[in-house]
Structure formats: structure tokens, C-alpha cells
Amino acid sequence: MALKKQTTADVQLVGQIQVSAYVRVAHVAGTKHDVTANVMFHKDSAEGEAFQAAAYTFKPNMDGNNFIKQAYEHLKTLPEFTNAQDC
């Protein structure tokens, strides 16, 4: 699972450009009180080098889906992922 979204990337010697980013949850860790999802932004697919990384924290639902699935669900609730699509 991953998300696809338009974002801005800093490119050396060029500056900021718009790219279609492939966003994947690389790692989750936490407790029943909060989980941190480490997210990697890749250009087009997860096979290339990541151009950005970020961490997002959310309160997990202990009766819900696994934490990775919940991380993607949480990302889609954030303003910066408003137009993100599942892929």
C-alpha cells in the first residue's frame, strides 16, 4: 500500500519543483497510546531514492486495522494529504 500525491521537492542546482510523489510508510513504532509512522517520499515508486522523510504521530485504535493500515488512514486525514490517492 502507498499514497500518490503532488508535492514540492528541492532539487540541487534547480530549486523547488512539483513532483508526483509515491508516499509509503516505512516503519511504525509506538504504544497503545500513540504510534509514530515514519514516512518516505519517493519519485514515482519506492524503488528510487527517497527525496524526503517525515514522521507523523497518531492515536491507534486497538480494535482496528493493523498499525500500518491505520497510519495510511491517518495520513489521509491531514491537510497536506487532502488529494492523495491510494495506490
Condensed to tens digits (0 to 9), the pLDDT of residues 18-76 reads 778 899 999 999 999 999 999 999 987 767 788 889 999 999 999 988 999 999 999 99
Q: Has residue 45 been placed in a domain?
A: yes
Q: Has residue 86 been placed in a domain?
A: no
The predicted model scores a pTM of 0.85
Q: Are 53 and 40 in contact (CB under 8 A)?
A: yes
**Parent domain of 29:** 3-79
Distances (CA, A) of 57 to 18, 31, 35, 38: 26, 11, 5, 9
Strands 50-58 and 15-30: unpaired
Query: Alpha helices of 1-87 — where are they, by DSSP H?
Result: 67-75
Q: Has residue 68 been placed in a domain?
A: yes
Q: Has residue 23 been placed in a domain?
A: yes
Q: Has residue 85 been placed in a domain?
A: no
User: Which three-class secondary structure state does DSSP give residue 33?
Assistant: coil
Q: Has residue 20 been placed in a domain?
A: yes
User: Which three-class secondary structure state does DSSP give residue 79?
Assistant: helix
Q: Are 57 and 51 in contact (CB under 8 A)?
A: no
Q: Has residue 31 been placed in a domain?
A: yes
Number of domains in the chain: 1
